[in-house]
Amino acid sequence: MVRSLLSIDWDYFIPLKKEWLNSYTETPRNIEWIWYKRHLESSLRGIDIEKSVSISFSLDDFWDKIREHFIFAKDIEVYVSESHMLSYHIAINNKCEEVYSLDTHADLGYGGISSTSFKLNCANWMGKLLCEGWIKKANIVYSHHTTEKPEDFKDFNKLFPVRYYNDIDELPKDIYTAAIHICRSGAWTPPWLDDEFFKLVNNLNLPYKLIKLYKRKWNIRKMQLSDLLFYLNFS
Protein backbone atom coordinates (compact mmCIF):
# COMPACT_ATOMS: atom_id res chain seq x y z
CA MET A 1 0.00 0.00 0.00
CA VAL A 2 1.44 3.36 -1.06
CA ARG A 3 1.84 5.75 1.85
CA SER A 4 0.91 9.34 1.04
CA LEU A 5 1.19 12.74 2.66
CA LEU A 6 -1.74 15.12 2.29
CA SER A 7 -0.30 18.63 2.50
CA ILE A 8 -2.63 21.63 2.55
CA ASP A 9 -1.54 25.23 2.23
CA TRP A 10 -4.00 27.79 3.60
CA ASP A 11 -3.35 29.97 0.55
CA TYR A 12 -5.24 27.31 -1.44
CA PHE A 13 -8.40 28.95 -0.09
CA ILE A 14 -7.46 32.62 -0.47
CA PRO A 15 -7.25 34.52 -3.77
CA LEU A 16 -4.68 37.25 -3.24
CA LYS A 17 -3.90 40.40 -5.16
CA LYS A 18 -1.30 39.80 -7.87
CA GLU A 19 1.06 42.39 -6.41
CA TRP A 20 1.32 40.28 -3.24
CA LEU A 21 2.31 37.07 -5.02
CA ASN A 22 6.03 37.55 -4.59
CA SER A 23 8.75 35.44 -3.04
CA TYR A 24 9.12 36.15 0.68
CA THR A 25 11.24 34.86 3.52
CA GLU A 26 9.03 33.61 6.33
CA THR A 27 9.99 36.12 9.02
CA PRO A 28 7.88 38.28 11.39
CA ARG A 29 8.40 41.14 8.96
CA ASN A 30 6.57 39.28 6.18
CA ILE A 31 4.23 37.17 8.30
CA GLU A 32 2.79 40.06 10.31
CA TRP A 33 4.25 43.53 9.82
CA ILE A 34 3.72 43.66 6.06
CA TRP A 35 -0.03 43.12 6.53
CA TYR A 36 -0.31 46.18 8.76
CA LYS A 37 1.58 48.18 6.15
CA ARG A 38 -0.74 46.96 3.39
CA HIS A 39 -3.81 47.72 5.48
CA LEU A 40 -2.67 51.26 6.26
CA GLU A 41 -1.66 52.01 2.68
CA SER A 42 -5.02 50.70 1.44
CA SER A 43 -6.89 52.77 4.03
CA LEU A 44 -5.14 55.91 2.78
CA ARG A 45 -6.58 55.09 -0.67
CA GLY A 46 -10.04 54.55 0.80
CA ILE A 47 -9.96 50.76 0.43
CA ASP A 48 -11.06 48.38 3.20
CA ILE A 49 -8.53 45.62 2.67
CA GLU A 50 -10.31 43.23 5.04
CA LYS A 51 -13.36 43.24 2.79
CA SER A 52 -11.34 42.89 -0.40
CA VAL A 53 -9.62 39.61 0.57
CA SER A 54 -11.50 36.61 1.93
CA ILE A 55 -11.64 32.83 1.57
CA SER A 56 -12.93 31.65 -1.79
CA PHE A 57 -15.33 28.91 -0.67
CA SER A 58 -16.98 27.39 2.38
CA LEU A 59 -14.90 25.34 4.79
CA ASP A 60 -17.88 23.45 6.20
CA ASP A 61 -17.80 20.52 3.77
CA PHE A 62 -14.11 20.60 2.87
CA TRP A 63 -13.07 17.57 4.92
CA ASP A 64 -16.08 15.62 3.66
CA LYS A 65 -14.81 16.17 0.12
CA ILE A 66 -11.32 15.13 1.18
CA ARG A 67 -12.57 11.90 2.75
CA GLU A 68 -14.23 10.96 -0.54
CA HIS A 69 -10.73 10.51 -1.96
CA PHE A 70 -8.39 9.90 0.98
CA ILE A 71 -8.33 7.00 3.44
CA PHE A 72 -6.79 8.12 6.73
CA ALA A 73 -4.51 5.65 8.50
CA LYS A 74 -5.71 4.67 11.98
CA ASP A 75 -2.53 6.12 13.49
CA ILE A 76 -2.42 9.13 11.17
CA GLU A 77 -0.16 12.00 12.20
CA VAL A 78 -1.49 15.55 11.78
CA TYR A 79 0.78 18.59 11.83
CA VAL A 80 -0.03 22.31 11.81
CA SER A 81 2.73 24.80 11.06
CA GLU A 82 3.61 28.15 9.56
CA SER A 83 5.72 27.01 6.62
CA HIS A 84 4.91 24.52 3.90
CA MET A 85 8.59 23.62 4.00
CA LEU A 86 7.86 21.30 6.93
CA SER A 87 6.22 18.86 4.49
CA TYR A 88 9.71 17.84 3.38
CA HIS A 89 10.50 16.45 6.83
CA ILE A 90 7.00 15.05 7.41
CA ALA A 91 7.09 13.06 4.17
CA ILE A 92 10.49 11.58 5.03
CA ASN A 93 9.71 10.83 8.67
CA ASN A 94 6.43 9.11 7.76
CA LYS A 95 8.00 7.14 4.88
CA CYS A 96 5.59 8.60 2.34
CA GLU A 97 6.09 7.61 -1.30
CA GLU A 98 3.70 10.22 -2.69
CA VAL A 99 2.63 13.72 -1.76
CA TYR A 100 -0.73 15.30 -2.54
CA SER A 101 -0.37 19.05 -2.18
CA LEU A 102 -3.31 21.47 -2.24
CA ASP A 103 -1.73 24.82 -2.92
CA THR A 104 -1.61 27.94 -5.04
CA HIS A 105 2.03 27.05 -5.80
CA ALA A 106 3.73 23.84 -6.93
CA ASP A 107 6.74 24.39 -4.66
CA LEU A 108 8.89 22.31 -6.99
CA GLY A 109 11.48 25.06 -7.17
CA TYR A 110 11.47 28.13 -9.37
CA GLY A 111 14.22 28.47 -11.94
CA GLY A 112 14.53 24.85 -13.03
CA ILE A 113 16.05 21.75 -11.46
CA SER A 114 19.04 23.75 -10.18
CA SER A 115 16.73 25.48 -7.67
CA THR A 116 16.61 22.25 -5.67
CA SER A 117 20.31 22.64 -4.89
CA PHE A 118 19.49 25.72 -2.82
CA LYS A 119 18.84 25.49 0.89
CA LEU A 120 15.49 23.89 1.75
CA ASN A 121 12.72 26.49 1.69
CA CYS A 122 8.97 26.85 1.19
CA ALA A 123 9.39 27.17 -2.59
CA ASN A 124 11.49 24.06 -3.32
CA TRP A 125 10.55 21.41 -0.75
CA MET A 126 8.55 19.30 -3.23
CA GLY A 127 11.31 19.42 -5.82
CA LYS A 128 13.86 18.36 -3.23
CA LEU A 129 11.77 15.35 -2.22
CA LEU A 130 11.71 14.23 -5.86
CA CYS A 131 15.33 15.00 -6.72
CA GLU A 132 16.68 13.34 -3.59
CA GLY A 133 14.57 10.24 -4.16
CA TRP A 134 12.49 10.45 -1.01
CA ILE A 135 9.18 10.27 -2.89
CA LYS A 136 8.21 8.57 -6.14
CA LYS A 137 5.45 10.93 -7.27
CA ALA A 138 4.19 14.47 -6.68
CA ASN A 139 0.50 15.32 -7.05
CA ILE A 140 -0.35 19.01 -7.13
CA VAL A 141 -3.94 20.18 -6.74
CA TYR A 142 -3.93 23.80 -7.80
CA SER A 143 -6.27 26.36 -6.30
CA HIS A 144 -8.74 27.92 -8.71
CA HIS A 145 -6.93 31.25 -8.40
CA THR A 146 -3.38 30.10 -9.14
CA THR A 147 -1.36 31.95 -11.76
CA GLU A 148 0.95 28.96 -12.36
CA LYS A 149 0.73 26.42 -15.17
CA PRO A 150 2.15 22.87 -15.41
CA GLU A 151 4.32 23.93 -18.35
CA ASP A 152 6.14 26.31 -15.99
CA PHE A 153 7.91 23.20 -14.65
CA LYS A 154 8.98 21.44 -17.86
CA ASP A 155 12.31 20.31 -16.40
CA PHE A 156 10.62 18.53 -13.51
CA ASN A 157 7.86 17.10 -15.68
CA LYS A 158 10.42 15.43 -17.97
CA LEU A 159 12.37 13.80 -15.16
CA PHE A 160 9.74 12.92 -12.56
CA PRO A 161 6.13 11.74 -12.36
CA VAL A 162 4.35 14.98 -11.48
CA ARG A 163 0.57 15.08 -11.84
CA TYR A 164 -1.42 18.31 -11.82
CA TYR A 165 -5.09 18.63 -10.90
CA ASN A 166 -7.46 21.57 -11.11
CA ASP A 167 -9.91 20.36 -8.49
CA ILE A 168 -10.21 17.90 -5.61
CA ASP A 169 -12.98 16.09 -7.51
CA GLU A 170 -10.44 15.02 -10.15
CA LEU A 171 -8.41 13.00 -7.64
CA PRO A 172 -8.51 9.20 -7.57
CA LYS A 173 -10.26 7.35 -4.75
CA ASP A 174 -8.80 5.42 -1.82
CA ILE A 175 -5.55 7.36 -1.40
CA TYR A 176 -3.95 5.85 1.70
CA THR A 177 -2.85 8.77 3.85
CA ALA A 178 -0.21 8.33 6.55
CA ALA A 179 0.10 12.00 7.51
CA ILE A 180 -1.62 15.35 7.07
CA HIS A 181 0.10 18.72 7.14
CA ILE A 182 -1.80 22.02 7.26
CA CYS A 183 0.32 25.15 6.94
CA ARG A 184 -0.75 28.76 7.23
CA SER A 185 1.93 30.41 5.03
CA GLY A 186 1.36 33.71 6.80
CA ALA A 187 3.52 35.69 4.38
CA TRP A 188 0.80 35.05 1.77
CA THR A 189 -2.33 34.80 3.93
CA PRO A 190 -3.76 37.75 5.90
CA PRO A 191 -4.00 37.70 9.70
CA TRP A 192 -7.65 38.77 9.78
CA LEU A 193 -8.47 35.30 8.42
CA ASP A 194 -6.55 33.39 11.09
CA ASP A 195 -9.77 32.42 12.90
CA GLU A 196 -10.94 30.77 9.68
CA PHE A 197 -7.61 28.95 9.44
CA PHE A 198 -8.13 27.40 12.86
CA LYS A 199 -11.69 26.57 11.88
CA LEU A 200 -10.24 24.53 9.02
CA VAL A 201 -7.83 22.80 11.40
CA ASN A 202 -10.44 22.06 14.06
CA ASN A 203 -13.05 20.85 11.57
CA LEU A 204 -10.76 17.89 10.87
CA ASN A 205 -11.58 16.61 14.37
CA LEU A 206 -8.23 14.91 14.83
CA PRO A 207 -5.46 15.63 17.35
CA TYR A 208 -2.56 17.54 15.86
CA LYS A 209 0.95 18.71 16.61
CA LEU A 210 1.56 22.46 16.45
CA ILE A 211 5.04 23.16 15.09
CA LYS A 212 6.63 26.60 14.72
CA LEU A 213 3.42 28.51 14.06
CA TYR A 214 4.16 32.20 14.47
CA LYS A 215 1.84 33.93 16.96
CA ARG A 216 0.38 37.01 15.35
CA LYS A 217 -2.37 39.32 16.53
CA TRP A 218 -4.49 41.46 14.24
CA ASN A 219 -5.27 44.55 16.28
CA ILE A 220 -5.47 47.33 13.74
CA ARG A 221 -7.95 49.41 15.75
CA LYS A 222 -5.74 49.72 18.83
CA MET A 223 -2.57 50.94 17.17
CA GLN A 224 -0.84 54.04 18.48
CA LEU A 225 0.77 56.77 16.38
CA SER A 226 4.21 55.22 16.84
CA ASP A 227 2.87 51.92 15.46
CA LEU A 228 1.35 53.66 12.45
CA LEU A 229 4.62 55.39 11.63
CA PHE A 230 6.62 52.17 12.05
CA TYR A 231 4.43 50.07 9.75
CA LEU A 232 4.09 52.77 7.11
CA ASN A 233 7.80 53.43 6.89
CA PHE A 234 9.48 50.04 7.16
CA SER A 235 10.60 48.43 3.92
Q: Which residue has the higher pLDDT, 28 or 197?
A: 197
pLDDT of residue 232: 66
Judge whether residue 180 has pLDDT over 90: yes
Return the pLDDT at 105. Answer: 93
- Please tell me which residue, 17 or 77, carries the higher pLDDT value: 77
Q: What is the pTM of this model?
A: 0.92
In angstroms, the CA 199 to CA 72 distance is 20
Strand 137-142, strand 98-103: pairing: parallel
Question: Is 235 a residue whose pLDDT tops 80?
Answer: no
pLDDT at 139 over 70: yes
Q: Is the pLDDT of residue 208 over 80?
A: yes
Structure confidence at residue 74 (pLDDT): 96
| pLDDT value, residue 166 | 96
DSSP string, 71-101: EEEEEEEEEEES-TTHHHHHHHHTT-SEEEE
What was the pLDDT predicted at 56? 81
pLDDT score at 45 = 87
What's the pLDDT score for residue 228?
Answer: 63
Q: Please tell me the predicted confidence (pLDDT) of residue 40.
A: 83
In the predicted structure, residue 213 carries a pLDDT above the cut 80: yes
| CA 153, chain centre distance (Å) | 18
Alpha helices in the chain (DSSP H): 28, 34-44, 49-52, 62-67, 86-93, 125-131, 154-159, 194-203, 225-233
- How does pLDDT run across 30-46, given as a tens digit for each residue? 888 888 888 888 888 88
pLDDT for 38: 85
Model confidence at 129: pLDDT above 70:
yes
